[in-house]
Structure 1
Amino acid sequence: MPIETIRGEPFNIRFDGAEDRPVLMLSNSLGTNLHMWDPQIAEWASHFRVLRYDSRGHGQSTAPDRPYSIAELGSDAVAIMDHFGIDKVHWCGLSKGGMVGQWLATHAGKRLDRVVLANTAAHMGPPDLWNGRIRNVRANGMAPLVQPTLERWFSQGFRERDKETVAKVSEMFGATPPLGYAGCCAAIRDMDQREAISAVILPVLVIVGALDPATPPAAGQQIAGAIHGAELAELDAAHLSNLEQPEAFTKAVLDFLNA
């Protein structure tokens, strides 16, 4: 996959779909990479030019050893659009990708068309939780976090019936650069978009997972309530709802984007 230099830093970026179609930009969760969207690509790429990338701190993209911010992650997305001469995109982000989507919708709304915010939150405390996670990963790497993370990300029933998908995500998470993960944990720790998103005037779909302990339905409901006209969809899934309910997720997003 091509590594592009964006503002002097390497980013792993991939396109799928015909070049003359509207662009749908995808942003991964904390601890995954652009392959988290694999189940959606075939269907979405038949309608859109799908642009996905490894977020800063993840996969093969830049992972400097310092705290990041949601504003920096959002600016990365704008810089990627600028690099390819793309004026406007549809946006779909899950978890951290949804946090970046909120920042973009608030601060760079002219660059977005329709916005999907999945399994995400506008604020995620307390700081001590994130500080503890940062200390742990800096001292011990990703391995100690794998199992508890999988238990938050997937329901018990899904972990038992689709071990192949769980194994792929386990490998993805374990391969995340520890310093990049820590940098993104700092971005989430310091984020509070609860008031700012009330200014968003774009069409927004908020997707929640009924079984999601990481960003519970109430977190998504708060976002939908703050953004005028936002739609809300609930899936029978935990945190990575696009993997636990791939068909339902793919359809919900496609129906919204084609509305």
Structure 2
Amino acid sequence: MKTARVNGAELHYTDGGAPDGQAVVFANSLGTDLRVWDAVLPHLPPDLRVIRYDKRGHGLSEETPGPYSIDILADDAAGLMDHLGLRGAVFVGLSIGGLIGQALAARRPDLLRGLVISNSAARIGDAGMWQGRIDAIRSGGLRAIAAPTMERWFSPEFRREGAAAPWQRMLERQPQDGYIACCEAIAAADLSESTAKLDLPVRLIAGRLDGSTPPDLVAATARLIPGARLEVMEGVGHIPCVEAPEIYAAILSDFIEETP
């Protein structure tokens, strides 16, 4: 098990693949840990160096007192990349990970050569929506929001097959205070201005059946970024790397190959 103390928190991470290969850093979504990428990895080119990590308050990373901000979470990512000596990486961020990636690209452009914003946007929801979720969790725990979250995360077919059950358990077992602190970070984040100024290759990914960040929302962020390209994956929800890992990996592989 690998951990690094950066920016006042101990982060759990994995560092695999080709040590001298192109570095790709994966940031997971709200309510998941770095295992959300497991099914994608076998379909990526073998010559990549693959770094995954649990953001603070999730998985095996430290749960520091909240509230968090997207800037704090981006500085965590930057600190881990500095710790590993990474420059010119491709950053792949899913959901809140996409917000982290946008902030990281704005704050530390020296670290990145490309950015993938997956099932995310410059602004996600509003303060009232997030406060309602926080209140529900404080009243009934993460189990209180687990079932409706699965409906946003996964397609009806995926859920009918029972394939969502392990992911529901993963959500329910996340540190509650860390989850709430990340909700507070998303609620306060509007990255529209800084994202519109990004100057690096960007690919966006949306799921046609995404109930959290629908394709129209992701497309609106794509229009902010000069030269950005949007890929809409059919038949999947908010976590397409789980539902369709081969297609997801193909999009990533094409982007990495095309990015100078």
Q: Same fold (TM over 0.5)?
A: yes
- In 1, distance between residues paired with 2:84 and 2:15? 11
2:45 matches 1:32: no
Letter in 1 for 2:230: L
- In 2, distance between residues paired with 1:78 and 1:118? 19
Contact 2:9/2:56 (8 A) holds in 1: no
2:244 matches 1:210: no
Q: Quote the residue 1:70 is aligned against.
A: 70
Describe the SS at the equivalent of 1:195: helix
What CA deviation, in whole Å up to 9, does each residue of 1:10-45 have, x standing for no partner?
211101202111110000000000000001112336
Which range moves more in the overlay, 232-241 or 177-186? 232-241
Deviation at 1:47, TM superposition (A): 2.9
Paired-residue identity, %: 37
Describe the SS at the equivalent of 1:39: coil
- In 2, distance between residues paired with 1:139 and 1:95? 25
- In 2, distance between residues paired with 1:200 and 1:128? 29
Indicate which of 187, 190, 193 corresponds to 2:188. Answer: 190
Contact 2:74/2:101 (8 A) holds in 1: yes
Letter in 2 for 1:76: D
Aligned positions of 1:99-114 closer than 5 A: 99-114=99-114
What CA deviation, in whole Å up to 9, does each residue of 1:213-252 have, x standing for no partner?
2101111111111100001101011111111121111101
Describe the SS at the equivalent of 2:91: strand
- In 1, distance between residues paired with 2:73 and 2:83? 15
Q: Quote the residue 2:123 is aligned against.
A: 123
Describe the SS at the equivalent of 1:92: strand
TM-score w.r.t. structure 2 length?
0.95
Q: Quote the residue 1:257 is aligned against.
A: 256
Contact 1:57/1:181 (8 A) holds in 2: yes
1:65–1:136 Cα change, 3 Å:
farther
* Gaps in structure 2 of 5+ consecutive residues: none
- In 1, distance between residues paired with 2:125 and 2:151? 19
Letter in 1 for 2:227: G
What CA deviation, in whole Å up to 9, does each residue of 1:169-208 have, x standing for no partner?
1121111100000000000000001122111110000001
Describe the SS at the equivalent of 1:106: helix
1:93–1:19 Cα change, 3 Å:
same
- In 1, distance between residues paired with 2:241 and 2:94? 8
Aligned positions of 1:52-71 closer than 5 A: 52-71=52-71
Contact 2:10/2:56 (8 A) holds in 1: no
Query: RMSD between aligned alpha carbons?
Result: 1.3
Describe the SS at the equivalent of 1:128: helix
- In 2, distance between residues paired with 1:108 and 1:223? 20
- In 1, distance between residues paired with 2:187 and 2:200? 26
Describe the SS at the equivalent of 1:55: coil
Q: Quote the residue 2:177 is aligned against.
A: 179
